[in-house]
Chains A and B, each alone.
Chain A
Amino acid sequence: MEIHDEHVGDTWIVTAKGRLDGNASANFADHVGRLIESANPKLLIDFTGVDFVSSAGVWPCFYSAKRSNPPAGRSLSAACATQCGRYSISPTSHLCSAFIPRAEAIAAMGK
């Protein structure tokens, strides 16, 4: 999978594309983990470009969120919802706190 970072204001935005499965999860979780552990871990992950995600792929993200401080944890949950909504898989919506567009998520991060 492709991972691209950009810094907007005081927030890191991670854009992921491709497939997030058990094979890609370790690399992705490491990447996210490094940002979470940085000095200012405001983090938004945009999964809109991810076309396939398995539980083995998504759980490391939640694990990272659970390790993080509250702002990062909330942002990870919202980002996961963005991807999971693609096929309206209702079970995963239970895992995510919100389904929000990218711009709205960025704005919410500033609050």
Chain B
Amino acid sequence: MTRPQTRFEASTLATSDAITDLTDQIMAFLSDHGVEDRATHHTALVLNEVLTNLGTHGGCRDRVAKIAVVVEPDTVKGEIVDAGPPFDPRSAPDPAFDVTPSERPIGGLGLHLVKKLSSDLEYTRRNDRNYTSFAISRRQSVE
């Protein structure tokens, strides 16, 4: 079966350098396929945040994660498959927004952005791997 040309696939470690390289690749791919700046930014940010969380809190910088991105007419869909400990990003608590920035504990923003910017955020655990998928609307919307 021939894969559509609008699909991007990559394998990456969850290190800062590797995540930066992947972000470059994703943004170039989406731009080349005519995806709007906003959707390009949000897709790259969601992938960046999930991978950063995997490396920082999942202790899996040295284990390869697989990434797939598909461009569709109305959305960009993404999937991350990793071998980290079970973690459902939907269950992550939101940062404390009821205190001032100077009083706020560090952490929690990345996964909050993942939940806020994406739609159809899904998670399953199969064969000792996390499958996290999401969609980013290509239409300007209220965020």
Q: Does B20 count as interface, using CB distance less than 8 angstroms?
A: yes
Q: Is the interface of B mostly helix, strand, loop or mixed?
A: helix
A54 touches which one: B17, B27, B110 (CB < 8 A)? B110
From residue 113 to 138 of chain B, which have CB atoms closer than 8 A to chain A? 113, 116-117
B49 touches A65 (CB 8 A): no
A88 and B143: CB pair below 8 A? yes
Taking a contact as CB atoms under 8 Å apart, the answer to whether A90 and B116 are in contact is: yes
Contact A97 B101, CB 8 Å, known A19-B20, A23-B17, A55-B110: yes
What A residues does B38 contact at CB under 8 A?
Answer: 87
Q: Select the stretch in B5-13, B40-48, B62-70, B75-83 that faces chain A.
A: B40-48
Per-position contact with A for B27-45: 1 when CB-CB < 8 Å, else 0?
A: 1000000000010011011
Instruction: Given A52-B44, A63-B106, output 15 extra A-B contacts at Cβ < 8 Å.
Output: A19-B20, A21-B20, A22-B52, A23-B16, A23-B19, A23-B20, A52-B41, A55-B52, A55-B109, A56-B56, A58-B109, A65-B101, A73-B102, A91-B116, A97-B100
